[in-house]
Structure 1
């Protein structure tokens, strides 16, 4: 006859699941579970750990907004930015982008005044802000492209489309930069930059009161490669040979220390560079995706950012990286 006090030797998935549900969902204590399954309390603890290790139980920490406020203050103190907008972590990339976009949209609506000029970049994150649904009091402000146009496949993420959407939201006006974002070579870029119409729009962008830009990371699977602006090899070589970790507003490429890197890609961009953003009184930079801590750290070190918008996990990683590199 089997000893009734003998503990089970087979920790099946069913047993692990039953114990996990009892503990995490039903609120049973380890002592209660011990009696119910006729196993020792120590065994219950080991099984609960095994359930976590095998992925049967996934624990997610839901940060309280007060926690975000503390992280925001740390970013302000560490990098000298005026504001930090830190969104709580979300289960997927799109949800995270929307969460960050909501914070930025609310911030813009609270700070932009009638008569202000806002220069706008390109990309998914900036587009998400323009398309965020919220209540905005109409005001007479102007939205100007800080970079040229992109391939039709990137329509919604085009600076011109984004400017028009912002103008619609605010009841203001928009100004297009009538040039491609990326020329085929340096000579073509210089020819475009000599055009009077293009010069006038870029001058307007340089004199803006507010700038809204995205921070890109350097990946062969990046948005820039996907649309054919640069080859995967150009991106990889810039990362490996010049230490490039990201791009600022789709234009200047920089390393982890925030230094601009002169790459073959930089010679082909038609728009404002990092140094041209610095005189703008309020530069808001967005990096929502969890693949961007290195790019975000490098961008913060450029000294061009006044307001940073990102997630809790990105912010904590950036703070830890900065501390480790000192």
Structure 2
């Protein structure tokens, strides 16, 4: 091109200063202000076809560069990698720092809410187990197919917990518009006889009768260690030690499992009011919302045991899980 020749645009006309200014203004209205092409055409007294050509020119010239991203900072590549490594049905990994647990729960809850809104259909039955991360999901949830919502575990009364399994189910059912099946009972009671009596109570029995129809469930995963499981923190020191000696590695919705993912039967199991290991394994998809690198072994145990087959987590835990599998963690689908 000779010096002084006009620059040719994608629309076939010269790109002078006026054209550049008009193109930039139209692009700003469309991409940043969210205005429709019809609205832009009316504002600038242009045809819709002229607006479309200007937007094409903005992209072709490099004035507008479109990058594929996600407002929730989802790491798409790491999500795909972890999903393949563990053989998961769904996997969402957020690029969120681990140093602020409250912010981490908020981001994971928002990501889980988006996933749930996407995958739940009117043919599903949704089951909810209480966990701080699941509660964060309920807070972020804005839309959901009209489905029954079933409580899977009793309430865990703790001074640092503001809500409960009951409120969790009610909140999600309000968004869904479907029926809520909940019950007033603690997660664990003092003895097995009390647990048996409570399970026979009408509202508990009604909710439990629905567990077999649950197709998608949300749960947390706790490592059997201090501050890594609300159930662990709620038990006595003697019981924690005894369960550790029995090989308990993790708990998923109150279900205790060893490092191989096999259920560990104990006195605590008999005192629990909630979903059983067999029932959890029968659910088509169990989505665990998990955070903290200390839970690597617990997550792998939950996946090995068929208790969990989808994950919402953050990048540092996802990388640690992949590293553990590559280092030879046994019995994980997709490893090697």
Asked if Structure 1 and Structure 2 have the same fold, meaning a TM-score greater than 0.5 normalized by the shorter chain, the answer is yes
- Does residue 190 of structure 1 match 2:196? yes
Which one of 79, 85, 93 corresponds to residue 78 of structure 1? 85
Contact 2:146 / 2:176 at 8 angstroms: preserved in 1? yes
State the 1:148 CA deviation. 1.6
Moved over 4 A (4+): 64-67
Q: 1:172 to 1:267 in 2, by over 3 A?
A: same
- Does residue 150 of structure 1 match 2:163? no
**Distance between the aligned counterparts of 1:220 and 1:291, measured in 2?**
11
State the 1:155 CA deviation. 5.6
- Does residue 266 of structure 1 match 2:269? yes
1:247 corresponding residue in structure 2: 251
- Does residue 172 of structure 1 match 2:175? no
2:283 corresponding residue in structure 1: 280
Contact 1:177 / 1:202 at 8 angstroms: preserved in 2? no
1:232 corresponding residue in structure 2: 237
Deviations, residues 7-52 of structure 1 (Å, cap 9, x unaligned): xxxxxxxxxxxxxxxxxxxxxxxxxxxxxxxxxxxxxxxxxxxxxx
State the 1:117 CA deviation. 1.8
Partner-residue secondary structure (3-state), 2:220? strand
1:163 corresponding residue in structure 2: 169
Partner-residue secondary structure (3-state), 1:234? helix
Please, what is the CA RMSD of the aligned residues?
A: 2.4
2:230 corresponding residue in structure 1: 223
**Distance between the aligned counterparts of 1:244 and 1:68, measured in 2?**
32
State the 1:207 CA deviation. 0.7
The number of residue pairs the alignment matches comes to 257
1:256 corresponding residue in structure 2: 259
State the 1:146 CA deviation. 0.4
Q: 1:180 to 1:70 in 2, by over 3 A?
A: same
Contact 2:95 / 2:315 at 8 angstroms: preserved in 1? yes
Contact 2:221 / 2:290 at 8 angstroms: preserved in 1? yes
Contact 2:181 / 2:206 at 8 angstroms: preserved in 1? no
Partner-residue secondary structure (3-state), 1:265? helix
- Does residue 100 of structure 1 match 2:108? yes
Contact 1:97 / 1:289 at 8 angstroms: preserved in 2? no
Contact 2:293 / 2:320 at 8 angstroms: preserved in 1? no
Partner-residue secondary structure (3-state), 2:166? helix
State the 1:76 CA deviation. 2.5
2:210 corresponding residue in structure 1: 204
Gaps of 5+ in 1: 1-63
Which one of 187, 204, 209 corresponds to residue 181 of structure 1? 187
2:12 corresponding residue in structure 1: none
Partner-residue secondary structure (3-state), 2:169? helix
Partner-residue secondary structure (3-state), 1:303? coil
**Distance between the aligned counterparts of 2:324 and 2:163, measured in 1?**
30
Contact 2:166 / 2:184 at 8 angstroms: preserved in 1? no
Gaps of 5+ in 2: 1-68, 331-336
State the 1:154 CA deviation. 6.2
**Distance between the aligned counterparts of 1:322 and 1:262, measured in 2?**
27
Which one of 135, 138, 146 corresponds to residue 130 of structure 1? 138
Contact 1:140 / 1:170 at 8 angstroms: preserved in 2? yes
Contact 2:74 / 2:94 at 8 angstroms: preserved in 1? no
**Distance between the aligned counterparts of 1:297 and 1:272, measured in 2?**
20
Q: TM-score, normalised by structure 1?
A: 0.72
**Distance between the aligned counterparts of 2:189 and 2:124, measured in 1?**
30
